[in-house]
Every structure is written in structure tokens, then in C-alpha cells.
A and B are shown apart, each in its own frame.
Chain A
Amino acid sequence: MTTTVSAAGLSLRYGLTTALDDVSLRLTEGVTGLLGPNGAGKTTLLRVLATAVPADEGTFTVLGHDPRTPAGRQETRRVLGYLPQTPGFHPDFSAFDFVDYVAILKELTDRTARHNEVRRVLAEVDLSDVRGKRIKKLSGGMRQRVALAAALVGDPGFLVLDEPTVGLDPEQRMRFRELIARAGEGRTVLLSTHQTEDVAMLCHRVVVMAAGRVRFDGTPAELTARAAGRVWSSSERDPNAKAGWRTGLGVFRNVGDPPPGAELVEPTLEDGYLLTLDGMHAEATA
């Protein structure tokens, strides 16, 4: 597949904190998941790729545009849709008002064309019926959809979504996933999330970050395969396991190096993710 977004050697420090440490990646069309614990550098990476903050070192291009020059930055922003982690809204705006406002910031100045575009994106996130309602009266899930609609204005080729499913109830989360899947058709989407289910259901590729560095870059199946033969069940929590928790069936699911004779079970994406992070801890303490 053709690379649409590529980054090489991105580094960024905030004082003594290293937020990004030599991050390189290549994205293609479709949804790529960005997994990692708090403080892993996910949001910082998204902000850099969205041109909200410049990196101290490294380069990146978005759909052929290099944001290091003023003209390149402008072009990058023209092909970009960005949904920040905590999107803010003007309190008195309706859904239509807000998306209309963002459309103006995206240089849609012709009133008729702009309003048509606003209607289109609100329909795309299934909010046509409440377009005149004030945002403060909408549910959390609807507000996220308003923010997604704003990100979709202008049909951007690169969509950056920072933890869009946080705080949503399961039904809203499922609905949002459908929208992301739809948005990922024909464009490059980078989706930051804590939820391995988001990745399992939506992403053709996954990048795991921790402590500002990329720890894994591959397909969800490859991440899952990392845990092959390293997940077992037992009636008690195995003290030698890297991680263990009681499942809904009442038995313990253990991840790590199984003891001889352990009852191995099929690994999941979450198991692969946990082992990747654990490998990072082992590396750090070695």
C-alpha cells in the first residue's frame, strides 16, 4: 500500500520530560490504531502530526506536504482533520453553528457552499436531526460526533483522532466505531486509544507507544501473535505471571511465561499489548 503519512526521527522534550524519542512511522490508507499507557506520548505525537506543536527534531510529510515551510504547513492543514482529546465548544453554539465556525477556519467562506458542507458532515455522523440544538444540551456521545463532524469538514485525507471513545457508554462507543470505520474508507486515519477492542474492531495496523518511543508497529494479528503460547488459565492467580485477572467465567487468565503443563488458551490483542509493555519494563530495568 502507498505510504500517505511518514515520520522520521521525531523527538520532542518539554523541559526535562521526553515526550517523543526518535519516533518513526509510516501510515497508509485505512485506520491505524495508536495504543499506549498514559504518558506514552500518544497525544504529543498526534499534536505534532496535526501541526499543533513543532517537533524539536525529525521530519514528517502528510500526503506529500512537508509542514516545515509556511506553504507546506498550510497545505498540510488543508488536508487534515483533527479531533483533539478534549474538544472544546463555544457554549452557546448549536451543532450547526460550531461546525460552521470550524468550516470558516478551514477557509470555506462562501456561505452556500459552506452550509452545504456543514449539512453533509452532520449527516455523515447522523446528527442532522439535532443540528439546531445547543451543544451544551447534547449528550457526551453526540458532542463527540459534533467534533468528528467538524474534523470531517472539507473531506480531509488525513484524520487524526485522539481517544474519541473515552467517556462514552458501550452503545455510544459502538456507534462511534461505526463512524470511524466509515471515515476510514478512502482516507488515512490515526486513532489514539486505550481500548484494545477499538483496535481489534477498526484497525488494519497498530502502533504501540510507551515512554515516548514506538514499541511495536505491525498488524493486530502480529501483536496478538506475540502472546501465542504465553497465555494460560488457572483456578488461582499464578504468582509468576506478568499479569493475571479473573475472567467472567471465574477462572484466572494469566499472561507471561507459563509453567510446565499450564492450560494454554487463545491469546487476544490485549495479551499481546500487555506483553509488549512488559517487555519494555524488562528492557528498562535490565
Chain B
Amino acid sequence: MTWHVAEDDVRAYARGELAPPMLWSADTHLAQCAECRALLASVTDPVALDAGWERLDAELDAPRRGLVESLLVRIGVADHTARLLAATPVLRRSWFGAVALLLVMTVLVTDASNVATPDVFLALAPLLPLAGVAMAYGPVLDPTYEMTVVAPMHGFKLLMIRTTAVLVAGLGLNGLATLALPGYGLAALAWLLPALALTATSLALTPRLGPVLAPGVVGGAWTALLLVAHGRATHGGTLAPFTATGQTVAAAVAVLAAGLLYLARDRFDTKTPGFGPTA
């Protein structure tokens, strides 16, 4: 060798601070010069080197991210949160497929019936996110539920992470369906506030009634309300929940239920429904 990398440059190289073009020269030279490699090894901080190997190991062993998880990480969601979201039981192709199919059929029926207000669509749309959220946390669809409830992560935090994911997905599908009904204008969006009200109410009732009964009761109450409203509506008129007054009430219920849910947040860690007598 006719030249060697200066010791200061080797130290900078070890710290990752050597800038091009000297960095390129050092790279090439170190590959061929045992003397400089020995110097590099002697000036490298062993702790930093170990940390580097650990990071490399972690990357090599890192689980291959699925489509949803990769997308979440790409838009800035923390790696561990993305993993929790991707493991949300209802965020599966089968769930999306079923919901999308149901919405397509509802939109087609609404379109074909040529009615003044899209009542069938507006009645159904709030139930879909409700069902999704109900199945996101609990023993029914989450195979890891029993391990999850004894983990130090707060149950409420996990519930909120999953609820956000399911709501974004569910409301997104509903939104796409709404776009498929342009003839109704803003009236086709009247499902949104009831959807939020039903979901928040169901979650607020979950610590008391459990993750199956709570959405069941709320869904049943919504259906009963619609039947009553249908009986009272004039022919071709808008059902009460979808009028301006009904929307205001839905917004108020959503806010109230969200407040109650927040107050009951600790109960998701103390009262864990789904366990009964064992064989």
C-alpha cells in the first residue's frame, strides 16, 4: 500500500461521520488494507459496534410486514402500533369483503328503487362500524384475548387503537358507498352521526354488558327506533333520525357516550368479560 487512511479519518469513519468523497476512498481502501482495518477495529467503540450488530439482527429477523402494516408504517404510524393494528381480528379480507358486498347490494337496491331518501342504506350503514368495533376487542373473534387482558398494556388503550382502525376502515367503506349515491347529495351522509353515536354508546356499555350484549342491545335499539320512525313518517318523508333534529340528537348522544366511555376507561382493565365457569 502506498497510502493509509489518516487516523483522524479512521476515527470519523468509525463514528459514521466521514463525508464523501473521503468516505468512498476509505471504503475502497479498507476493503484492501488489513493494517487500516486493524486500526479501525481498535478505534471502534465496542458498545456501538454491538448495538450495530443488534440493529442488524433485529432487521434480519424482523417479521415481514403485511400490506396494511406496511402502509401504516409508511404513513408514519409507529412500528409497534402498526403491528397491533394489523392484528386487529376484523381487519381481514373476509370482513372487508363481506362489508363491501353488503354495501354494494344496498347501494344497488337503493339506486334501483328510485326513492326520495336512501333509507335502507342509511339504516344499515351505522350498523357496520358498530359490528366491526364490537368484534375488534373481546373473546368472540380475538384468539389471543386471554393473553391480551393480562398484559400490562391498558385494555382501554388497545381498544381505542383497534376502534380507530375499524372506524377508519368501516367509515371509509361507507363513504365510498355514499359516493355511489350522488343523486341524494348530503342526505346520503346522514348515516355518519348515527354511526358514531351507536359505536360510542356500545363501547360505553361494554364494561357493564360485555362485548357481545352491548352492541346487540344498541343495534336492537337502533332497529326499533327506525321501525317506530317508519310507522310515524309520512309517505316518502325522511325518517326522524335522518332529519336535522335527528342528526342533532345523534351528535349529542355520540358526545355524551364518548364522555361516559372515557370515565369508564379503567373498567376495561378490571372487568374482563368473556370468562365463565370452566369444565
Q: Across the two chains, which residue of chain A brings its CB closest to B55? A: A112
Q: Contact: A104 with B144, CB < 8 Å?
A: no
Q: Contact: B80 with A104, CB < 8 Å?
A: yes
Q: Is A252 an interface residue (CB 8 A)?
A: no
* CB neighbors of B among A19-55 (8 A): 19, 38-39, 42-44, 47, 50-54
* CB neighbors of A among B98-150 (8 A): 142-150
Q: Is B186 an interface residue (CB 8 A)?
A: no
Contacts of B84 in A (CB 8 A): 101, 104-105
Q: Is B269 an interface residue (CB 8 A)?
A: yes
Q: Contact: A84 with B277, CB < 8 Å?
A: no
Rounded to whole Å, the gap between the CB of A198 and the closest CB of chain B is: 18
Q: Contact: B144 with A106, CB < 8 Å?
A: no
Q: Is A177 an interface residue (CB 8 A)?
A: no
Q: Give the A-B pair count, Cβ closer than 8 A.
A: 117
Q: Contact: A105 with B277, CB < 8 Å?
A: no
Q: Contact: B152 with A78, CB < 8 Å?
A: yes
Q: Is A248 an interface residue (CB 8 A)?
A: no
Q: Contact: A52 with B272, CB < 8 Å?
A: yes
Q: Is B151 an interface residue (CB 8 A)?
A: yes
Q: Is B58 an interface residue (CB 8 A)?
A: yes
Q: Across the two chains, which residue of chain A brings its CB closest to B58? A: A115
Binary contact readout A62-105 vs B (1 if CB under 8 angstroms, 0 otherwise): 00000000100110011010101101111111101100111011
Q: Contact: B58 with A74, CB < 8 Å?
A: no
What total of chain B residues lie within 8 Å of the partner, measured CB to CB? 40
* CB neighbors of B among A139-154 (8 A): 147, 150
Q: Contact: B271 with A90, CB < 8 Å?
A: no
Contacts of B272 in A (CB 8 A): 52-53
Q: Is B185 an interface residue (CB 8 A)?
A: no
* CB neighbors of A among B152-171 (8 A): 152-154, 158
* CB neighbors of B among A239-265 (8 A): none
Contacts of A51 in B (CB 8 A): 149-150
Residues of A within 8 A of B (CB): 14, 17, 19, 38-39, 42-44, 47, 50-54, 70, 73-74, 77-78, 80, 82, 84-85, 87-94, 96-97, 100-102, 104-109, 111-112, 114-116, 118-119, 131, 147, 150
Could you pull out 8 A-B pairs where Cβ atoms are within 8 angstroms?
Answer: A17-B277, A43-B278, A44-B278, A70-B270, A74-B152, A77-B151, A90-B87, A105-B153
Other A-B pairs beyond A92-B66, A100-B83, 11, CB < 8 Å: A38-B279, A43-B278, A44-B278, A52-B272, A53-B275, A88-B145, A88-B146, A90-B89, A101-B144, A105-B153, A106-B151
